[in-house]
Structure 1
C-alpha cells in the first residue's frame, strides 16, 4: 500500500488533470479554412454538423458555413452550400455580416437556426438575434422569421446566440450576449476605455417552438476587470458526470492573443454561475498550441472508437487561413 502522503499527492494530481482538456499533444486544425464562431450539433442520423460565421470573400460567399463529420474530432468535410441563403429582410441582406449560428432540433424533427444578423440602414453598426426554420433538413435551406427575436439596440444589440434543451426539465432556453461593447468608448474591442459598458450573457426561456419567448431573461454572467473588455460566445451544457450546468464563454478581445475559452458552473440553469478557479480552459500558451482560442460549443461524443460517451468542444483559433476549427475532449471540474 502506498504511504498516505504519496496517495494524497496522486489524488491531487488527478484532480488537477481532471480540470484540463484531455489532450496529449499540440492540436492541429480540424478544418483548414476560415470557420469562425463554430457551433456543433449531433443529428439524429448520427452525423455531427458544425455551423460557422459568414464567408464574404472568394468565389462562393455564404451567409452561414457548414461542415459535417462522423465524430466531433473529425474528419470534417466542408459542405459547399449556404444553409441560410437569405438572413432576413430586417438585416443588411445576403452578403452582410452574419455571425455565430447555432442550430437545434425540435421535438417535431424540424430545426431552428439562431444567428446574429447585421441590421440595415442607420443601425448597421449593430447586430440582433434572428431565427430561421427548416422543416426537415439540418443543412436547410432555412427560412428566416420576418423580425429579430432579440434586439436590445439601446444596450448595443445582441450577438452569439446558442440554443439549450435542459435534459432535466425538458425546457428550452436561448443564451446570448448583449453586445454592450458596440457602445463602448474605444480601445480593445471598443470597450477598454473607461467608463466601460456591461456585456452581459443572458438566459431567455423559449417555448417548444424554439422562437417564442416565455418569461423574462436573466443575466447569468457579466464581465469583470479580469475579463478585459467583454465576455461573449456563450454555450450552455449539462455535465452528467458532475450533475451541473456548464456555461462555456470567451473573454478579452477576439482579435488579440488573450482571447480564451473559459467555463463557469451552477447547480441551477438560471445560476448563480461560479467561474472555474483554474482560469481558462483553453488559452494561448497553455501547451495546446492554439492562438486566441474562442467560441466554444459542446457536444456529447458517442462513437465506435472505444471512446464511449464524453464531452467534446469545438472552437476556433488563429491559423493561416483566418480562424480555423479546432476541437478537444474535456473533463469539467467543479472549482
Structure 2
C-alpha cells in the first residue's frame, strides 16, 4: 500500500511562477516522511536494483577520519536500509583528479549487457582545481571496486566551466544515454553559487548517447535538454532521466544548493531528445519538513527514487549540537544554523515511488 507523499508544489513557490502547470495540478494530503538510515549523511544519492535488492551510492564523505570517495548503502526491500560505513566503491583515483581535494560527487551506477557495471561520476580537475569533470569507472561487481581507466577526463568542457552530475539511462529501444550538467556557474561572475551577478552564465543539462555495449563510447554530439532561466536562480543541475507513463521525465534541481530555495523540479517530453517543458517543483523547502531538497535520482527503467535534503535536527537539539561539535582544541565552532538544519551531520537521503499522469508527477512512500 502506498501513502501519498507529495505532488507538484508549484503553487507554494513564488520562484516557479513561469513554469508550465498541468491542469490537474494541486496539493494533496501528504503522509509524513523520514530520512532513511536514521539521517546518515548521504548526499547526491543514486539507485540501482539487483536480485539481492537495492544498492545506493553517494558523494564523498569523511567517515571515522577516513576519506571515502564513493559511499554505499543497501536495502533488500527499499524500506530497510543499511549504511556500509567505511566501505569505498572507488578507492583509487584516476591520475587526472586533484588528489589533494578530489571532490568525488554524484556517482551513478548502471549495468552493461555483459553483466559488468559502469559508474559515472564527477571529480575535481588536477590541472585546474576550480573545475570539475565527468568520468566513468567499471567493475565486475555492483559494489566495486570501480576502476577508472582514463588518463584524461571523459567529459570536460573547460571553456564552459567543466561538467558535473552524470546519470545513465537505457531507453526501451536499447539505446544508452547519459545526462549531465555543464557547470557554467564555476566560471560565473559572483553572487550566490557564483552565478547571480550578471551576465548570468548558462548551466545547460545535456543528453549524450553512448555505446549500448560499453557505456562510454560517445555517439554523436550532446543535445541540450534545458538550461537555467530567470526562475531557476543560478543553476539547473543534478539531472536524472526516466520514462514514467507516456512521458520522458527529466528530474533536476534549481536554485543554489547552499540556500533554502534549492528544490527538485522536472521537465517532460514525448521524445527522448525533446523538446522538454519544465514543470514543478516536486519538492521544496517545507515539503514534509525537508529543507533544500535536491539531487533526485530515479532507477533506470523504474519509478523508485532517492534524493537528499536537510531536515530539522531533532536528534541533537541546537545547544547539544553546538556542545558536541563546538569549541575545543583544534575544533571550529559550528554555525548555529548548520546545527539547527542538519539531521545528525550532512544531508540525509529520502526515498519514494514516483508516477506521472498528464505532466503531473506524484511521489508516494511505502506505508
TM-score, normalised to structure 2, is: 0.78
Q: For the residues of structure 2 that align with 1:94 and 1:104, how far apart are their CA atoms?
A: 28
Provide the C-alpha distance between the structure 1 equivalents of 2:132 and 2:77, rounded to a whole number of angstroms: 32
**Mapped partners of 1:222, 1:298: distance in 2:** 20
Alpha-carbon distance in 2 for matches of 1:115, 1:191: 23
| Residue 315 of structure 1: how far off its partner (Å) | 0.3
- Are 2:45 and 1:38 aligned? yes
Residue 175 of structure 1 pairs with residue 175 of structure 2: no
State the partner residue of 1:333.
357
Q: Within 5 Å, give how 1:299-310 maps onto structure 2.
A: 299=299
Aligned equivalent of 1:255: 258
Gapped regions of structure 1 (runs ≥ 5): 1-13, 302-309
Instruction: Please tell me whether residue 190 in structure 1 is matched to residue 194 in structure 2.
Output: yes
- Contact 2:43 2:308 survives alignment (8 Å): yes
What is the distance in 2 between the residues matched to 1:312 and 1:104?
A: 15
| CA distance in structure 1 between the partners assigned to 2:300 and 2:138 by the alignment | 24
Question: Is 1:290 matched with 2:324?
Answer: no
Q: 1:300 Cα shift?
A: 7.4
Unpaired runs of 5+ residues, structure 2, are: 1-22, 311-341, 360-367
CA distance in 2, matches of 1:51, 1:289: 24
Structure 2 counterpart of 1:305 = none
Q: CA deviation at 1:61?
A: 2.0
For this pair of structures, how many residues does the alignment match?
Answer: 301
* Alpha-carbon separation, structure 2, partners of 1:256 and 1:333: 30
Q: Using the TM superposition, give the Cα deviation of residue 15 of structure 1 relative to its aligned residue in structure 2, in angstroms.
A: 4.2
The alpha-carbon deviation at position 46 of structure 1 amounts to: 3.8
- Residue 95 of structure 1 deviates from its aligned partner by 5.6
Matched residue SS, 1:214: strand
Indicate the residue corresponding to 2:117 in structure 1.
111
- Tell me the CA shift for residue 285 of structure 1: 1.8
Cα distance in 2 for residues equivalent to 1:231 and 1:213: 23
- Residues in 1 aligned to 2:271 and 2:65: alpha-carbon distance in whole angstroms: 47
| Residues 199-278 of structure 1 aligned to structure 2 (within 5 Å) | 199-207=203-211, 208-239=213-244, 242-276=245-279
Q: What RMSD over aligned residues (CA atoms) do the two structures have, in Å?
A: 1.9
- The aligned counterpart of 1:307 is none
Q: 1:95 to 1:139 in 2, by over 3 A?
A: farther
State the alpha-carbon separation in 2 of the partners of residues 141 and 300 from structure 1.
21
Q: Find the residue that maps to 1:332 and give its secondary structure.
A: strand
Deviations 1:275-298 (A, max 9, x none): 12xx21011123x21110000011
CA distance in 2, matches of 1:129, 1:103: 13
Task: Please report how far the alpha carbon of residue 57 of structure 1 lies from its aligned counterpart in structure 2 after TM superposition.
Answer: 5.5
1:311 aligns with 2:303: yes
SS at match of 2:105: strand
Which residue does the alignment assign to 1:58? 64
The alpha carbon displacement at 1:97 in A equals: 0.6
